[in-house]
Amino acid sequence: MSDVLAGKRGLIMGVANDRSIAWGIAKAMHAAGAELAFTYQGEAFGKRLEPLAASVGSDFMVDVDVTDDASLDGAFEQLGARWPTIDFVVHAIAFSDKSELTGRFLNTSRANFKNSMDISAYSFIDVARRAHPLMVENGGTLLTLTYQGSNRVVPNYNVMGVAKAALESATRYLANDLGPEGIRVNAISPGPMKTLAGAAIGGARKTYKHTDQNAPLRSNATLEAVGGTAVYLASDAGACTTGEIIRVDGGFHVLGMPQPDHL
């Protein structure tokens, strides 16, 4: 996909390190010719992001905590000041208290329910509302990341599953609101990946191994494959796709039971 994003500019939210899904997407988008800006959460992540951003030719980094309206406003003001229009935003942000990503879903606390929904689902709506004025001229693409714990029970995923269900529904509602402006809204749903957020979920290693061994392709998602899907969705090749949840999970979601040798 050599230069399918040449001339396009966008914001990548959610790079924590070089294993982040957002980083896989950033690398693929850069390789496809896009110009990138980044947000990061706090100083420590900023330090890690700096060399990564530089390696894809970007010095445009803004500190954003999505629970803080002022920091989101500031980020989009800076973005608009530097670039009059943008073509895409990648929202790869989620959080839940680790102590509730294990054991019974029944024990989800009100405080963590609200916080998980706020950071992992509402923030996509908040970002879309701020991003769309920068896209009205040429249209654009909003992308988020989800997981099949939204519509299937994945033990330990718990409240994140509920948040992902809300995020997927928000993807469809945003797609309908913003479609007339030529803005497409989609979610990529990878299988388990070895990232900071992924490691917070109870039994992550077992889940990773199970998917790797049982998926029809007998492999988990890679950063490259998720990146390639994001490039397709942000490019003109994805021109008629919106409101969609695209799985990049080695086909794991089609299974009704494990492969015979893993029963």
Q: Which residues define the annotated binding site for NAD(+)? A: 14, 20-21, 41, 65-66, 93, 164
Give yes or no for residue 178 binding ligand NAD (CB under 6 A): no
C-beta separation of 135 from 240 below 8 A? no
Give the shortest CB-3-to-ligand NAD separation in angstroms. 26
**Closest residue to ligand NAD, Cβ-based?**
198
Q: Which is nearer to ligand NAD, 5 or 245 (CB)?
A: 245
Which listed residue (52, 79, 119, 170) binds ligand NAD by CB under 6 A? Answer: 119
Residue 121 engages ligand NAD in binding (rule: CB under 6 A):
no
User: Is the CB of 15 or the CB of 79 nearer to ligand NAD?
Assistant: 15
The answer to whether residues 94 and 145 touch, using CB atoms and an 8 Å cutoff, is yes
CB burial class (10 A; 0-12, 13-18, 19+) of residue 4? middle
| Dist. CA 124–CA 159, nearest whole Å | 17
Contact 66, 167 (CB under 8 A): no
Residue 147 annotated among the catalytic residues of the structure: yes
Asked if 122 is an active-site residue, the reply is: no
Q: Which residue, among 249, 45, 4, 256, has the nearest Cα to 141 in the 3D structure?
A: 4
Q: Are 208 and 194 in contact (CB under 8 A)?
A: yes
Q: What is the spatial distance between Cα 59 and Cα 112, in angstroms, rounded to a whole number?
A: 35
The nearer residue to ligand NAD, 195 or 214, going by C-beta atoms, is: 195
17 secondary structure, DSSP code: S
Least separation in angstroms between CB 167 and ligand NAD: 8
What residues between 130 and 169 interact with ligand NAD by CB under 6 A? Answer: 145-147
Where does this chain bind ligand NAD (CB under 6 A)? 14-16, 20-22, 41, 45, 64-67, 92-95, 119, 145-147, 190, 192-193, 195-198
Catalytic residues: 147, 157
